[in-house]
Amino acid sequence: MAFPTHRPRRLRTTPALRRLVAETDLRPRHLVLPMFVKEGASEPVPIASMPGVVQHTRDSLRKAAAEAVAAGVGGLMLFGVPERRDATGSAGVDPDGVLNVALRDVRAEVGDATVLMADTCLDEFTDHGHCGVLDAEGRVDNDATLAVYAEMAVAQAEAGAHLLGPSGMMDGQVGVIREALDAAGHVDAGILAYSVKYSSAFYGPFREAVESQLRGDRKTYQQDGPNVREALRELALDLEEGADLVMVKPALAYLDVLRAVAETADVPVAAYQVSGEYAMVEAAAANGWLDRDRTVLETLTSIRRAGADIVLTYWATEVAARLSTE
């Protein structure tokens, strides 16, 4: 028999064949849309470093949420941008604070048609921009922060969140939140733990999106980029404390970590395609250097292929609508 005997190209000859043998799929249900709502805004405010993404008003948030649900997205993750900040991030626990009001708005708009998630963290609400309260030396006080997270999680659950997303990387945050939710009667509210969150340069545009007041960095509580075993330790602790889902953030620069987490976790695994990843593709496409639509799908598929059951992405509605027509 003439060489070559084996011809893998046979399974690539038509779109139908390629679709038939595809090992990884990307469907609308896999996608979660992060959304920002700005207190006091009278119209949506464009985010310069994230073309196509805005800080919503209450009204535009409800409309965009309904559009995302109509497109079939799996969930919505809400972030608040308050008018006033203080040292303890009190607006984050205030039932009438921007994020809790937005959660009630969206839950009233879409009900249980999608999964409503809340960012359970203080960085948007503190006047120093850190993810927790500070001690007398200006360091993030882990245990004092946990007490605020517990209060914040209960307020978010009462506002309508199906899932709470503790993203501050405080030791013990999942266990404290689980205990607080249960004590308040929110036994069905789940926890999407940011189990593996690295200190990353890819968060830059997000700082603009939430009007971050951060001074310094978050390297004493977010993970160090070179470490993988540390990520698996964080994962094990969060699972032990009762995490219902776990997350790796960022996604593209940490696909190896995502794979390791997916191979270990016995709960669904999410990955966050963060603002810098989004901005890079949009900038390159705007300059004509990349085919935007193909690149978007390729990056999302790579995250799914690495093991993510759920992908948080700012392209969620757009991609979900496109996939729904295929």
Active-site positions read: 197, 249
Contacts of 186 (CB under 8 A, 6+ apart): 154, 157, 158
The two tokens of residue 55 are 């800080």
Residue 312 — left, alpha, or beta (φ > 0 → left; ψ -120 to 50 → alpha)? beta
SS3 263: helix
Distance CA 48, CA 149 (A): 31
Q: Work out the widest C-alpha separation in the chain, in whole angstroms.
A: 79
What is the H or E stretch that residue 19 is in?
helix 15-20
Is 53 within 8 Å of 96 (Cβ atoms)? no
Strand partners of residue 100: none
Strand partners of residue 198: 223
What is the H or E stretch that residue 245 is in?
strand 245-249
Distance CA 6, CA 18 (A): 17
Distance CA 57, CA 47 (A): 13
Phi, psi of 181 (to 5 degrees): -60, -45
CA-wise closest residue to 264 among 313, 299, 229: 229
Q: Count other Cβ atoms within 10 Å, centred on residue 101.
A: 18
